[in-house]
Amino acid sequence: MKKPPRRLVCTIAPGEEGVRLDAFVAEWLAHALRRSLSKSVVRKLVMAGAIRLNGRPARRPGAILSAGTVLEAHVDAARIDAGTAEAATSPRADPTILHEDDDLIAVAKPAGLVMHATADPRRQDLFNTVRLLLARRRGETAVPDRLPYLGLHHRLDVETSGVVLFTKQERANAALAQQFAQGEVTKTYHAITGRPGGRTPREWRVENRLAMSDGGRRARMQDAPTGGEHAVTQFQVLEVLPAALLVQARPETGRKHQIRAHLAGSRLPILGDIRYGGPSRARRCVAPRVMLHALSLSLRHPVTREALTISCPYPHDFSAFLDCLRASRDVC
């Protein structure tokens, strides 16, 4: 028997006004349903009339909310699942190429895209997306065991955006792997963090040992005085905002969740990083995801040995969130 739509109601509180309807609904339903929803699914819910403002269908995802407005959501689980499946199977645009030569290709990874294939065959991943791109260029068919060679030496978390470097020729693997293993690749990240009450140093260094605790969705890296893996990150505050900080991170090691764990341990959790205690918003600005971006890689070309720096501009969601925080200077 089909379950009736679930009805959820909330009222926009003072301090929450000025937020876009789709951004608010995404955060609200994620907490209420205990599952994240893609932007496309939220947009479809709004435009289908499933979200009401003061009793009337909203239908405009970009509507700006006012304090005292009553939101009502009629959530059909089957509709959400269908929308999620459609988003998983919908083709994405080819990733932006940041650098390419005979041996290397670097692309801009969008947030939300996993690095490798998962158990869900419908879910797209960056590794095979790049291989398919190379295959199409050569006029080859997308037969899995005949796709062009691609080598991967570093990874980004699913919600992290930024530069990812691949090798196109096996001859480049050994030298590149050695540079990553010996810490000779300079990795620069930008993070938008919460702003603590006390004073934050302009520069600091974190060195500890990290080990995984818990499992599944609650898994997180924590300081492990005994055991764990050695982890080092250099930090610098680039910009101080009323409710947030723009922080540069340069990890000297490559541990899982290293930057996220080190910032959380410094009482500066990344905005949107709920797993590590990061707030979901700062003033009127709602973080659309974990606000961490891999800005650049600097290394020696593994074949030519020439110095190479590959940079990736901020994606729209990162720059828009930063602009919102900057605009909030004059908002109480």
Q: Considering the candidates 157, 214, 223, 323, report the single residue annotated as catalytic.
A: 157
Q: Are residues 178 and 75 in the same domain?
A: no
* Structural domain count, the chain: 2
- Cβ contacts of residue 191 below 8 Å, gap of 6+? 246, 247, 248, 249, 259, 263, 270, 291, 292, 293
Q: Name which residue leads in pLDDT, 95 or 84.
A: 95
How many other CB atoms are found less than 10 A from the CB of residue 40? 13
For residues 160 and 293, is the Cβ–Cβ distance under 8 A? Answer: yes
CATH number at residue 56: 3.10.290.10
> Cβ atoms within 10 A of the Cβ of 39, count?
15
Closest CA to 299 of 196, 165, 171: 165
More confident of the two residues 199 and 90: 199
Digit-coded pLDDT (tens) for 144-198: 556 788 999 999 999 999 999 999 999 999 999 999 999 999 999 999 999 887 7
Q: Beta strand 161-167 with 292-300: parallel, antiparallel or unpaired?
A: parallel
User: Are residue 72 and residue 216 in the same domain, yes or no?
Assistant: no
Nearest Cα residue to 136 out of 94, 88, 166, 90: 94
Are 73 and 55 in contact by the 8 Å Cβ rule? The answer is no
Q: Is 1 contained in some domain?
A: no
Q: Would you say residue 149 lies in a domain? A: yes
**What is the helix (H) or strand (E) element at residue 327, kind and residue range?**
helix 316-327
For residue 143, what are the domain limits?
Answer: 97-330
User: Could you tell me which residue, 8 or 80, shows the higher pLDDT?
Assistant: 8
> Does one domain contain both 213 and 310?
yes
Mean pLDDT of the chain: 86
Last residue of a domain, one of 49, 70, 89: 89
Predicted confidence at residue 78, as pLDDT, reads 58
At how many degrees (to 10) do helices 39-47 and 21-33 cross?
110
Domain closes at, from 46, 68, 89: 89
Q: Which pLDDT does position 124 carry in this prediction? A: 85
Catalytic residue list contains 157: yes
On whether both 81 and 102 belong to a single domain, the answer is no
> Out of 35-44, 69-78, 276-285, 290-299, which region has the weakest mean confidence (pLDDT)?
35-44
Distance CA 255, CA 139 (A): 38
Residue 227: count of CB within 10 angstroms of its CB: 8
220-256 tens-digit pLDDT: 898 988 888 999 999 999 999 989 999 999 999 999 9
Q: What's the confidence (pLDDT) of residue 140?
A: 64
Whether residue 58 has pLDDT greater than 70 = yes
Total count of residues recorded for the chain: 332
- Output the pTM of the full model: 0.72
Is residue 71 located within the same domain as residue 131? no
- pLDDT classification of 90: cutoffs 50, 70, 90: very low
Which of 89, 121, 152 lies at the terminal end of a domain, its last residue? 89
Query: Any idea what the CATH number is for the domain that residue 319 is in?
Result: 3.30.2350.10
- The crossing angle, in degrees rounded to 10, of helices 39-47 and 77-89 is 130
Please, are residues 61 and 46 in contact by the beta-carbon 8 Å criterion?
A: yes
Torsion angle defined by CA atoms of residues 182, 187, 191 and 193, in that order, rounded to the nearest 10 degrees: 30
pLDDT band at 60 (very low <50, low <70, confident <90, very high): confident
Write down the H helix ranges in 142-243.
173-181
Q: Verify that 241 and 272 share a domain, yes or no.
A: yes
Shared domain check, 133 and 30 = no
pLDDT value of residue 32: 77
The residue that leads in pLDDT, 83 or 213, is: 213
